Structure 1
Amino acid sequence: MAIEDNPIAYYSSLPYPNQRTVHMLSGRRFSLDSNKQYKMPAELFNVIKDDPVKLGEMATKFIESHQSLQVPRLLTLYRYYIGDNDIHYWDSEKSESRADNRIASGFAHFITSIKTGYRFGNPIKFQYNDDSEISEADENTLNDLINKFNSKNDESYHEKIMGKNLSIMGRAYELMYVRENTNDVSLRPVDPVNAFVVYDSSMEQHSLFGVYYYNVNFNEQDYWYTVIYTDTNIFIYKPTSSFDGQLTLSDNQEHNFGSVPLTEYINNDERMGDWEYKLDTIDSIDKSKSEMANSQEDFSNAMLMITGDIDVPKTPWVGADGQPLTDKDGNIIYRKTPEINTRQSKIWLKPALVKNGINDNGQVIQPTASYLTKELNTDGWKLYIDALNMEIHKDTNTPDTSDANFASNASGVAMSYKLWGNDQERANQESLYTRGLMRRLRLLGNYWQALGSIQNADMVENINPIYTPNMPKNDADIMQTVTALVNTGKVSDQTIREQIEPVTGVSNDAEQQRIDEQNEKIKENDPFNNVFTRKPDESQDDDGDNTDDSNPDEVDNNEIDEKPSD
């Protein structure tokens, strides 16, 4: 995310930009429209669908709403991900003489890293459904097209970026387009701050059009670019000086994707990030750690309290000319209170004589020196912080790897239970992500059919995405399980190779190919391979037995009747 290209939007995520005036934990953070899904009646859209001017005017209204109401929420979440929490802008109302540290926790980044790595750390497999009625040649063609597409677009990394955006902001966008002067389809993630999709008002919520707008700051001048995607066309507009500037068409291109090539993925039905609903708890931890640091610093700079007199040379008052000041009698005027440097390693004290009257002989006050401090309840502070930490891990279904019970020697069953909550959440999110993947494949199918690469776009419906959670693995346990399966004698070689893939890192198909190549080399390099191999015409006759019909004296043992027993 290029924050520097849109600093105004970045600071719009703060109530009062560039000032420490955020009142933390004071109520609702975002407006009701901050996460609203854009919709409009399809019949109204069809009227302006092919009119770039009216379509641009409609898109501008949505852009204004997106920039003013939705972008602040998205960038607030992104700020927390990069460690720029609201604690940095907190109105603590502390005086200048007191410590005012601002410590931001990294919980947002930690949770997103764990969730994204767990879901997308292992590449998604696109497996063809063998139960389909499509010919093997068509199946191989489609698989080759998908593999080439994934390879050229670094699909594995693309999924990780999409997963990160989903975890942070609850939504992610990907754009499909054709590379210039080629027929190659490109796939790119688009920042949710710079894109949105408008749907119709039906139950199906079909995509009407998508908008991708972004800012480029060059030579201290803003250039806002806007592109609108419909199910048939791409409308490219000239850059404007602001996001809500009047759009003028620059280019109009047709595409063959058959639908809006901008696809929205959602993290859940609420379109919320993985830790968004725990922002208050994150702020509580930030405030607690910051206040503890402030208490420690205030303790180090505590006020020195002295009773008695200080045995130091008297310090005269000095005038503007640098000379000591004198009274009318010419006597040097000394300070009534000697200067005290609390940073000195030693301060000499002496008893003080205090008189209450003229005839009072006075009372001797023994000198003392001590710092004015307050008690720091470190145990209570630690208990409070630990409770907040535990609450975040529990409510976000993120395992606490610092937990003493989260040991590397824990059994597989114990680890499974610790990840059980995360797995439930992952199952729902994979279902939602599969919707986006299938839409991607349908767009590709439409384009490849228009290009003549495949016969029917519906072929992609036979592709099943398969997810493999990126869990800590124990090779010894895997091999023990595989050995037990082999010993049953009822498991195919293909299943065994699929089970050991996490250990070898080689897929079933690649392993089968290696085995075939290895057997072929053994046959080629075996000098006795052809010596002991009988040719069919030398060992068997046409009727399949091992006798030579040209020799009538040779008798087939199978034709001898057994002598009946007595």
Structure 2
Amino acid sequence: MAVVIDRELLGDINEPNIEAINYAIQELQDRRNHLDKLSDYYNGKQEIGTHKFTNSNVQASNIMVNHAKYITDMNVGFMTGNPIKYTAEKGKDINDILEAFKNIDIHKHDIELEKDLSVFGYGYELVYLKQTDPVSTRDNNGREKLTPNTEIRIEVVDPRATVVVTDDTIEHEPLFAVFIQEKLALNGQNDGYSVTIYMPNRVVEYRTKSSMNLSSTDRIVYDGENLFGAVPVIEYRNNEERQGDFEQLISLIDAYNLLQTDRISDKEAFVDALLVTFGFELAADDEDLKALKRGLINAPPKEEGADIEWLTKSFDETQVNLLSQSIENDIHKVSYVPNMNDEKFMGNVSGEAMKYKLFGLENLLSIKQRYFFDGLRRRLQLIQTIVNIKGANDDASGCKISLTPNIPFNLSDVVNNIKNADGVIPRKYTYSWLPDVDSPQDVIDEMNEQDAETIRKNQDALRQQDPDRLELEESQDDSSEDNKETQSDNNHSKRTRSI
């Protein structure tokens, strides 16, 4: 989450301000526990794991059903299951940017980034240049020389180790970013921290001795130029509040796990029930105790009031199951993520019915992608700067970003709608209803080619069956064309004479 400060307090934004940096680091440490809790819930380290009964003799089963992971994984799949597509504005070129994305495997990167957004509510990525093998070239005299070479790289960085500082204007322009990495000695003990400051035109890395906070005595291990001309750490938001997809559901998740734990504990208590005798004592040796454990119980004496039975705690399983389903339904209702294992969520429902079942999810994804696109546009600007420095002429301004949610849809309904709209709505618009179609005009061109190929094949087949008839039709067609040309020439001559 970005830290906001007054721009005037920094002075030169390309000179490290120790006081401002330490302020940002302190803000990062203050939110660390909250972020750790969200990460633990996704990884299955939830509150139910520490649950204990008041009676120390009773062992808690501690059943954990990881709804947090289910919600995040489903949202990540829905959001980034299909690659994000970029289309340059008419008359502009972004081919070098797209080539850089291809080399980075940007789709895999976007999946990892969306996971952080879903868990923490916001995420960070670092755009940087990686030094690679130098390129061999020759000068005017034919002598070989090695030219330094770099490649564009993008990596997801942990929000628990990263903070971006922005100004206090309504645009919240990034001023600098801080990335902290713990250093360990060979024995695994803490050996200080690496604190890297990313400024618009400069990158400085400090090495501290023990604390994360910087001091004037900490040494600088790297001081280099930032060729991007802007802070290369980009913050992405999951929503306006920067909340994770399951952050507001933690109480429901805890309640569901506790209920399931109690159900299993009640079952175990039922199996380990006490045997109670009435009106007599049960004196048993070792053999009798073994028999009791196997359920072999001798009949009680035939005395008045004598009896023997198991002492168990009765519970209404129907009511418990109803409460369990109610909590689970609330989890899916509030998260907008449907329960794919629900019997009502069948695969044979119509496309229109499927839309209503996924209506809440589609609304959620539309909000998420609006905030996601803000970061993607900043990414395009940073990559454009570097590819143009390398000699390209890309222009990503006005670039169209499209994201197709990876959710179930009924393709037959889409095709039927396109067929029914043919002749009423231009095909350039109806073909855009098809999923994974960026350019409807390309589909139209392919359909025309397909129709021409079909006509050619039909003519070939007809020629083989009745060649004389086909030649006659072709000659008639040619004669008709000649007559049209002759008539056109005559008309032209008449108009010329009249003039």
Q: Name the residue aligned to 1:348.
A: 298
1:171/1:266 contact within 8 Å kept: yes
Aligned partners of 2:330, 2:371: CA distance in 1, in Å? 26
Instruction: Note the alpha carbon deviations across 1:316-336, whole angstroms, 9 max, x for none.
Output: xxxxxxxxxxxxxxxxxxxxx
Shift of residue 102 of structure 1?
Answer: 0.8
Q: Name the residue aligned to 1:14.
A: none
Matched letter for residue 349 of structure 2: A
Aligned partners of 2:8, 2:173: CA distance in 1, in Å? 13
2:354/2:409 contact within 8 Å kept: no
Q: Name the residue aligned to 1:38.
A: 3
For residue 286 of structure 1, the aligned residue among 238, 246, 257 is 257
Residues 147 and 508 from structure 1, CA distance in 2 versus in 1: closer, same or farther, beyond 3 angstroms? farther
Residues 289 and 313 from structure 1, CA distance in 2 versus in 1: closer, same or farther, beyond 3 angstroms? closer
2:418/2:431 contact within 8 Å kept: no
Q: Name the residue aligned to 1:59.
A: 21
Aligned ranges 1:122-161 → 2 under 5 Å: 122-130=82-90, 136=91, 139=92, 142-161=93-112
Shift of residue 469 of structure 1?
Answer: 1.6
Matched letter for residue 233 of structure 1: R
For residue 190 of structure 2, the aligned residue among 212, 217, 222 is 222
Residues 376 and 201 from structure 1, CA distance in 2 versus in 1: closer, same or farther, beyond 3 angstroms? same
Q: Name the residue aligned to 1:465.
A: 401
2:97/2:384 contact within 8 Å kept: no
Counterpart secondary structure, 2:3 = coil
Say whether 1:238 aligns with 2:172. no
1:304/1:342 contact within 8 Å kept: no
TM-score normalised by structure 2 residue count: 0.80
Q: Name the residue aligned to 1:409.
A: 348
Aligned ranges 1:98-497 → 2 under 5 Å: 98-130=58-90, 136=91, 139=92, 142-181=93-132, 182-217=149-184, 219=186, 220-223=188-191, 224-238=193-207, 240-244=209-213, 246=215, 247-307=218-278, 308-310=280-282, 312=284, 342-348=292-298, 350-351=300-301, 364-365=303-304, 367-454=306-393, 459-486=395-422, 488=423, 490-492=425-427, 495=429
Instruction: Note the alpha carbon deviations across 1:69-101, whole angstroms, 9 max, x for none.
Output: 2111111111111221111123x3432321311
Shift of residue 374 of structure 1?
Answer: 1.1
Higher mean Cα deviation, 118-127 or 177-186?
177-186
Instruction: Note the alpha carbon deviations across 1:508-565, whole angstroms, 9 max, x for none.
Output: 687689789999999xx9999xx999xxxxx99xxx95599xxxxxx9477689xxxx
Aligned partners of 1:221, 1:368: CA distance in 2, in Å? 66
Say whether 1:96 aligns with 2:53. no
Counterpart secondary structure, 2:41 = helix
Aligned partners of 2:219, 2:203: CA distance in 1, in Å? 14
Matched letter for residue 32 of structure 2: V
Residues 244 and 370 from structure 1, CA distance in 2 versus in 1: closer, same or farther, beyond 3 angstroms? farther
Shift of residue 65 of structure 1?
Answer: 3.6
Matched letter for residue 381 of structure 2: R
Which consecutive residues of structure 1, in runs of 5 or more, have no partner in the other structure?
A: 1-35, 131-135, 316-337, 353-363, 534-538, 549-554, 562-566
2:72/2:115 contact within 8 Å kept: yes
**Could you say which structure has the larger radius of gyration?**
1
2:73/2:115 contact within 8 Å kept: yes
Matched letter for residue 221 of structure 1: Q
Instruction: Note the alpha carbon deviations across 1:458-515, whole angstroms, 9 max, x for none.
Output: x3221021121212133322332333344x27524x556544455xx89768768978
Residues 301 and 244 from structure 1, CA distance in 2 versus in 1: closer, same or farther, beyond 3 angstroms? farther
Aligned partners of 1:124, 1:272: CA distance in 2, in Å? 23
Shift of residue 277 of structure 1?
Answer: 0.9
Matched letter for residue 152 of structure 2: V
Aligned partners of 1:196, 1:88: CA distance in 2, in Å? 31
How many residues in Structure 1 have an aligned counterpart in Structure 2? 456
Aligned partners of 1:395, 1:205: CA distance in 2, in Å? 31
Shift of residue 408 of structure 1?
Answer: 1.8
Shift of residue 244 of structure 1?
Answer: 4.0
Aligned partners of 2:101, 2:486: CA distance in 1, in Å? 56
Residues 413 and 244 from structure 1, CA distance in 2 versus in 1: closer, same or farther, beyond 3 angstroms? same
1:309/1:351 contact within 8 Å kept: no
Matched letter for residue 114 of structure 1: M
Residues 123 and 411 from structure 1, CA distance in 2 versus in 1: closer, same or farther, beyond 3 angstroms? same
1:171/1:267 contact within 8 Å kept: yes
Aligned partners of 1:344, 1:93: CA distance in 2, in Å? 28
Shift of residue 293 of structure 1?
Answer: 0.9
Which consecutive residues of structure 2, in runs of 5 or more, have no partner in the other structure?
A: 133-148, 464-470, 476-480
Residues 340 and 305 from structure 1, CA distance in 2 versus in 1: closer, same or farther, beyond 3 angstroms? farther
For residue 78 of structure 1, the aligned residue among 39, 49, 73 is 39
Aligned partners of 1:416, 1:313: CA distance in 2, in Å? 69
